[in-house]
Amino acid sequence: MEKISIVVSTYGRFEAFKLLINSIRDSRINKEDYEIIVVSSDEPNSEKVKWIDEQSDIDMRIFLMNDRSIGESRRKSLMYYENIGIKDSKYEWIFVVSDDMWFEPDWYEKFLTYVNEKNKVYIVSCHLGSKHFGFWIPPIGTITKNDITETMWLYDMTIIHSSVYEKIGYLDEQIHWFGKGADLPLAVAFLTEETPVLCHDVKINHDIISENRLTNISTTPNGDDSLYVKNKWIRWVNENSDKNYTFVWEW
């Protein structure tokens, strides 16, 4: 059976976080087939951290990364904290989720129907913003490799083999959070030979709540995330012109 490390970067939002954890417990996956890694910026004496410490039925670790000089805000980007969890994971499959999500009960069963050795990136369908959009995986452009043009999808939620993270050098910590869904597919396309698989029936609910993570971030790139990501990969394509790779941004 495939084993999954579920990585949750969290700060505040206690009630939403509990909903996420309980949805994992209530989904149809055996305890021995997953672990939960919590990367937290919450105060060590907060009710949320105390609650996490009391959860003996799941394997959970917590990393306290506060910088008191900046009060309640995170000092690093969201990708910084997610990388901590990714690198600390012990299973081959890694599922990075937000703390304001909850899982459909059959998500794991559906995932197992897709898994094979050749496909190491699975894009999960989820609510993006308001529920009236439904579950979907939006396209954001095209990528051309070896004279073959394919659609580039937004990697808002993904189950990725750990070897893929190693190949791409993990998440770009210069990104706040918004640009991750565009940066990750470009990194996978240009730096690996993996082909993503769209998992439309692996469903994750996501009611987007205010992040409250962008104040006083020390690794802020110039411009917004989308511009940073676009310019980053334009430079990469120009520097690797021998590969004849291109991308068209339509987002």
User: Superfamily assignment of 4-249 in CATH?
Assistant: Spore Coat Polysaccharide Biosynthesis Protein SpsA; Chain A (3.90.550.10)
Decide: 81 and 8 in contact? Cβ < 8 Å.
no
Q: How many CB atoms are closer than 10 A to CB 97?
A: 24
CA angle (209, 124, 61) in 5-degree steps: 65
Q: How many CB atoms are closer than 10 A to CB 198?
A: 14
CA distances from 79 to 74, 241, 249 (A): 11, 28, 22
Q: How many CB atoms are closer than 10 A to CB 179?
A: 22
Decide: 203 and 107 in contact? Cβ < 8 Å.
yes
Domain boundaries along the sequence of the chain: 4-249
pLDDT tens by residue, the chain, 251 residues: 899 999 998 888 889 999 999 999 999 999 999 999 998 888 778 898 889 888 876 666 666 655 444 444 455 788 888 999 999 999 999 999 988 888 999 999 999 999 976 689 999 998 776 667 788 898 999 999 988 999 999 998 999 999 999 999 999 998 877 789 999 999 999 999 998 999 999 989 887 665 554 444 444 444 578 889 999 999 999 999 999 999 998 86
Decide: 88 and 61 in contact? Cβ < 8 Å.
yes
Distance, CA of 128 to CA of 26 (rounded, Å): 23
CB within 8 Å of 68: residues ≥ 6 apart: none
